[in-house]
Amino acid sequence: MSQTLDVQNICVSYGMVEAVRNVSFRVPKGSIAAIVGANGAGKSTILNALSGLRNLTGGRVCLGERDISHLPPHERVPMGLAQVPEGRRLFGRMTVAENLEIGLFGRPDGGRDRAVLDKVFDLFPRLRERAGQMAGTLSGGEQQMVAIGRAIVADPQVLLLDEPTMGLSPLLAETVLQTISAINATGVTVLLVEQNVYRALEISNHAFVLETGEIVLDGPASALMHDPRVRAAYLGQ
Ligand code: ATP
């Protein structure tokens, strides 16, 4: 199942500071979109507002036709919106399997179908071997796989990913990005914040450039890849 994510004029403030101002975009169902921007531009703030971890001070967020702006995060997950947060946020003293099982609670069926864990192990065979290992003792790349896996078991229609390759070797980063493409190929709509702007644009259909809380450029990812402003600011060319 897939769903369109529709973001309309959202604003988010931290006290007096407006970190996100009047941001609007659409991620059509089944597509991948990337948010590109410098440190502090407001990328994580947008993802956290979409998942409900941050309150909006204006605007609205719709999943398909439904306005989800005022739902708490735990009610957005069973509706099909899952987030892989920055920094993974695993339970280090629980096993890989237990961390993945937490994602089952986000399923509309209330987590009865443990067979979906196999879907994650097919995606990341390395996790099958390590199902009984404490998550805190995994390598950074393996932890990222668990964080993505935990979101996948919730059976999302829209997946939000915040810097999924942060701290990974180039090889593992590539594995993670290819897995994100593979997840998208199953029909899941993806919104990606990614430090490797070149690869992010390569795997995305659409992209938005964010500067100090506002979208300043937006278009097909292939067009942004050739835009002189993007090349100068984010691709070092
Ligand atoms: P990075 O790429 O460095 O992760 P980002 O684009 O994700 O950056 P955000 O983390 O969304 O940026 O931050 C946007 C702005 O909001 C920054 O100026 C940041 O200092 C500010 N900010 C973020 N979180 C908070 C907070 N909890 N309290 C106050 N200000 C915050």
Instruction: Tell me what ipTM this predicted complex has.
Output: 0.94
Per-residue model confidence as pLDDT tens digits over 184-218: 999 999 999 998 999 999 999 999 999 999 999 99
- Number of domains the chain contains: 1
Taking the centre of ligand 1 as the mean of its atom positions, its distance from the CA of residue 54, in whole angstroms, is 12
Is 138 inside a domain boundary?
A: no
Express each pLDDT in 100-148 by its tens digit.
988 787 777 766 667 778 888 988 898 999 999 999 999 888 899 999 9
In 3D space, the residue among 163, 199, 127 whose CA is nearest the CA of residue 44 turns out to be: 163
Q: d(Cα 184, Cα 55) in Å, to the nearest integer? A: 27
Is residue 123, in this structure, part of any structural domain at all? no
- What is the Å distance from ligand 1's center to 49 Cα? 12
> Atom 10 in ligand 1: which residue has the minimum CA distance?
44
Give me the amino acid identity at 220.
P
- 67 in a structural domain: yes
**Gap from CA of 193 to ligand 1 centroid (Å):** 13
Q: State how far the Cα of 221 lies from the Cα of 134, in Å rounded to an integer.
A: 39
- Indicate yes or no: pTM above 0.90: yes
13's tokens: 């403030």
What single letter denotes the amino acid at residue 176?
Answer: V
User: φ and ψ at 214, to 5 degrees?
Assistant: -130, 145
11 strand-pairing partners: 58
| Residue 124, in any domain of the structure | no
Helix (H) or strand (E) holding 181: helix 170-185
CATH number at residue 178: 3.40.50.300
What local confidence, expressed as pLDDT, does residue 233 receive? 87
Q: Does some domain include residue 219?
A: yes
In a domain, 23, yes or no: yes
Q: How far apart are CA 36 and CA 49, in angstroms?
A: 17
Residue 119 belongs to a domain: no
Q: CA 213, CA 199: separation in Å to the nearest integer?
A: 23
45 CA distance to ligand 1 centroid (A)?
6
pLDDT in tens, 28-46: 999 999 999 999 999 999 9
Residue 85 to residue 71: CA distance in whole angstroms: 18
Q: Is the CB of 42 under 6 A from ligand 1?
A: yes
- Compute and round to an integer the Cα radius of gyration of the chain: 17
**Taking a C-beta distance cutoff of 8 angstroms, is the pair 84, 164 a contact?**
yes
Rounded to whole angstroms, the maximal C-alpha distance in the chain is: 51
Quote the domain boundaries for residue 24: 5-89+156-234
